[in-house]
Amino acid sequence: MGTSGENSKPRGNRWVFVTLWMNSTLESVCHRVPMMVWPLYAEQHMNAVMLVEGIGIALRPKQREDVVVDRGEIARVVRDLVDGLSGKVVRSKVKELQEAGLTALEAGGASYQALEEVANKWKKNAGVV
């Protein structure tokens, strides 16, 4: 899937197939890689709905009534992710989400401030400050 370093600059037409564990989802967003999701069990079905319909950073192949996904359907979704209009929208949303995450992690960003606040509370409780 991704490459180490230069996570803000995608190289070529990349995409990743994820089974919707949150680690792979977060890694995909951090590396600005759109996803094809295929939920199997547990909370993965809810995660698929959230990523496809809610946030718009993934595409999902259509299953037959017997819950099988045809290889032609997989190929269609991959082509769409790489070259299609839906894929373009998904890639744009992934980029937007990655940039928001990077902003939150910068000094003064929301995540940076929250972690700094927690660290200061721990220091105060430990008598270090």
Q: pLDDT digit string (tens) for 14-43? A: 666 666 677 888 888 888 988 998 888 888
Residue 60's pLDDT is 93
Q: First vs last Cα of the chain: how many Å apart?
A: 43
Encoding tokens for residue 129? 């400050």
Amino acid at 6: E
Domains of the chain with bracketed CATH: 16-97 (3.40.50.2000)
Q: Residue 67 has which token pair?
A: 């819950």
Task: Write the pLDDT tens digit of every residue in 67-99.
Answer: 788 999 999 999 999 899 999 999 999 999 999
Which amino acid appears at position 44 of this protein?
Q
pTM to 2 decimal places: 0.74
